[in-house]
Amino acid sequence: MGDDQRRAYAAAFERSTTDPEAFWGDAARALRWFEAPRTVLDRSEAPFYRWFPDGRLNTCFEALDRHVEDGHGDQLALVHDSAMQGGNLRGGATPVVTRRSYRELRDEVALFAGALAKLGVTKGDRVIVYMPMVPEAVVAMLACARLGAIHSVVFGGFAAHELATRIDDAAPKLVIAASCGLEPTRKVAYKPLLDAALEEASHPVETCVILQRPELEATLVSGRDVLWGDALADVEPHPAVPVESTHPLYILYTSGTTGQPKGVVRDHGGHAVALRWSMDNVYGAHPGDVYWAASDVGWVVGHSYIVYGPLLHRCTTVMYEGKPVGTPDAGAFWRVLEDHRVNVFFTAPTAFRAIKRVDPEGSAVKDYDTSALRTLFLAGERCDPDTLAWSGRVLGVPVVDHWWQTETGWPIAANLVGLEAMPVKPGSATVPVPGWDLQVLDDEGLRQPADVIGNLVAKLPLPPGALLSLWNADARYVETYLTRFEGYYATSDAGYIDGDGYVHVMARTDDVINVAGHRLSTGALEEVIAAHPDVAECAVIGVQDKTKGQLPWGLLVLNAGCARGDDVVKEAISEVRAKIGPVAAFKHAVVVDKLPKTRSGKVLRGTLRKMADGMPWNMPATIEDESVLYDVEKVIRAL
């Protein structure tokens, strides 16, 4: 890339890594603190770094009240678009859309905060939120933040046992839940799952606030369960409670390898500073823009870029209850883009693969006006170059593949379109975001030269917005993330940084396979296979082999209507041999109807490896569809 294209980015990155206190101190001035911080970074208890420790603020005030006080109360804050309500969309029903201005959302949140306070919730209490994609989920999160309570959102419909483990770990004062969630072909009753979880959990929960959805009402437990509307009776709006910058805002659980979930802890101050900065510099969003993250509030993307990021930056945030296909067809996303005049769109590559499989040419987009869209952002898994190119061709806008994690809370590497847009390299997440000093180390901790694959790590201290620790598990936090490479945060992702400084995230470190002494990235193999015109998506796993150590196996999903599966398999194997080389020893591939995935769209590669190696495996709690995993197991056994 040219010097001009690197100038703004290089200056910001250098300042963020050589003088982080000055860089983030300037960024913090964008917020309206109740007490401005005098100290930017407290290093006294490293590796437990704390940002803006003597500052006081409230994230809910910063996201809502501030904008109302500044004269923007009539601007739209939240648009809820449900493709699941309003009847059977396959029959052409109209989606149900509700809108809230900043003033309306502020008032609704303040009133619900008053209801929570009347039920005994105070600063520092934990509250579990177990809800689908409804606006009340946003209200609940912000109301907790307003009180200084710590919310922990559990993906709606999560299994009872998984919910119980989170209840026992967080020890909540109260649970907020909905009666059901809606899927394209079924209604998911949440209340029986909640009841079973509360019975299993050892921590007692005295009160549950239940939002009754008309599609499926729940049976209440007398003396424990309170209807949402009843909780609001005779309460007063509650003001925002000033809290320390380091006070926990939320706990978000991510699955742990031991079966014990890891509760990622985020704070008020550092989180708000980082997200506000990222909305401007990474996403190129402006106050007043319409921003849509097609995710779920149960995941980190929903926390950061459905709820907090857009509202902190005074954008209009779109909350979508629906799917990329089937609600009603492959034009679902394009309809939302048109109806709400979306300027910045963020989703996962798997969503576009689902659309491409049903509509390989992307012809449905012609029926919609998506001209308001400026940029498409993809994250959540590695984006293969074919998906990147297809997405850009269909929508006619720049596509940004960027990389981050639940633990980081916001992007680690991206094309910073709001700071200095750079040339795209398909397959790369572009460059480290300022604040993230990325390096590539081998297994012994030695720094690797350009273009050599290794462990992607971030030098400490991590920037604001990253996890502070794990809830009630400081030692586990250090052991999990900070012990393997001293002085670094281990991302558990493998990749390389090329000569231009571009970051290439190739696979989880567990997915780097060793074939006869050659380290190969499954992501590189998938990239070649996904480029085949008949392949909608694919996954490559490393399988144990007595001779070569491991061998790659491929699972291919073909575009709708493609009936030449055997030929596609042969052609894919040939392409891998031509582009990666015989060293890959790629000889085994098979066509499957679907890939087993989590509800956030990640392929369950670890479970697939265990199946292929004949090892015991458990049904993942986050799985989207159990039947798909069983179907693939039959295919793997046949191989």
pLDDT digits (tens, 9 = 90+) for 106-152: 999 999 999 999 999 999 999 999 999 999 999 999 999 999 999 99
7 versus 24: the higher-pLDDT residue is: 24
Q: Which two tokens stand for residue 413?
A: 């590497």
pLDDT digits (tens, 9 = 90+) for 534-553: 999 999 988 888 777 788 99
Mean pLDDT in residue range 309-331 = 95
Mean pLDDT in residue range 495-503 = 96
Is 441:457 a contact under the CB 8 Å cutoff? yes
Q: Is the pLDDT of residue 624 over 90?
A: no
Measured CA angle at 456 (ends 525, 381), to 5 deg: 50
Which residues fall within 8 angstroms of residue 180, CB to CB, at 6 or more apart?
A: 132, 187, 188, 189, 190, 191, 213, 215, 216, 218
Mean pLDDT over the full length of the chain? 92
Q: Tabulate helix, strand, coil % of the chain (nearest 5).
A: 35, 25, 40
Q: Is the pLDDT of residue 298 over 80?
A: yes
pLDDT digits (tens, 9 = 90+) for 510-524: 667 777 666 677 888
Mean pLDDT in residue range 209-236 = 97
Residues facing residue 603 across a β-bridge: 597
Catalogue the long-range contacts made by 361-367 (C-beta closer than 8 Å, 24 or more residues apart). Answer: 362/390, 362/393, 362/394, 364/329, 364/330, 364/331, 364/334, 365/331, 365/334, 365/394, 365/395, 367/331, 367/334
Measured N-to-C along each axis, helices 385-395 and 349-358 cross at an angle, to the nearest 10 degrees, of 70
Q: What is the pLDDT of residue 517?
A: 60
Q: Is the pLDDT of residue 256 over 60?
A: no
Which residues fall within 8 angstroms of residue 391, CB to CB, at 6 or more apart?
A: 352, 376, 378, 399
Mean pLDDT in residue range 42-46 = 97
Which H or E run contains 371? none
Q: Is the pLDDT of residue 319 over 70?
A: yes
Give the up-direction half-sphere exposure of residue 6: CA atoms within 13 A in the CB hemisphere: 11
Where in the chain are the domains?
Answer: 32-322, 518-638
Q: What is the pLDDT of residue 510?
A: 67
Of 181, 156, 155, nearest in space to 85 by CA: 181
d(CA 251, CA 409): 12
Give the three-state DSSP class for 431. strand
Is 314:75 a contact under the CB 8 Å cutoff? yes
Is 458:491 a contact under the CB 8 Å cutoff? yes
d(CA 95, CA 469): 41
Q: Which two tokens stand for residue 148?
A: 């200084």
Mean pLDDT in residue range 280-287 = 98
Give the three-state DSSP class for 306. helix
Backbone φ and ψ of 123, nearest 5°: -55, 130
Q: What is the pLDDT of residue 490?
A: 96
Is 81:336 a contact under the CB 8 Å cutoff? yes
Q: Is the pLDDT of residue 324 over 70?
A: yes
Judge residue 397's burial from the number of C-beta atoms within 10 Å of its C-beta, 0-12 exposed, 13-18 middle, 19 or more buried: middle
Can you name the CATH fold of 518-638?
GMP Synthetase; Chain A, domain 3 (3.30.300)
Mean pLDDT in residue range 308-324 = 97
Which H or E run contains 29? none
Q: What percent of the chain has pLDDT over 70?
A: 96
Q: What is the DSSP letter of 242?
A: P
Radius of gyration of the chain (CA): 24
| Cα distances (angstroms) measured from residue 322 to each of 157, 286, 431 | 15, 26, 32
Which H or E run contains 454? strand 454-459
Q: Is the pLDDT of residue 5 over 50?
A: no
Q: Which amino acid is at 407?
A: E
Give the three-state DSSP class for 98. strand
**pTM of the full predicted structure?**
0.88
> CATH top-level class for 32-322?
alpha beta
Mean pLDDT in residue range 41-46 = 97
202 versus 584: the higher-pLDDT residue is: 202
Mean pLDDT in residue range 248-260 = 79
Q: Which amino acid is at 502?
A: Y
Q: What percent of the chain has pLDDT over 90?
A: 77
DSSP string, 512-549: EEEETTEEEEHHHHHHHHHTSTTEEEEEEEEEEETTTE
Q: What is the pLDDT of residue 382?
A: 81
Q: Is the pLDDT of residue 54 over 80?
A: yes
Do strands 375-378 and 399-401 pair parallel, antiparallel, or not at all (unpaired)? parallel
Q: What is the pLDDT of residue 583?
A: 75
Q: Is the pLDDT of residue 213 over 80?
A: yes
Q: What is the pLDDT of residue 1?
A: 41
Mean pLDDT in residue range 575-593 = 86
Q: What is the DSSP letter of 240?
A: P
pLDDT digits (tens, 9 = 90+) for 144-193: 999 999 999 998 888 888 899 999 999 999 999 999 999 888 899 999 99
Residues facing residue 375 across a β-bridge: 344
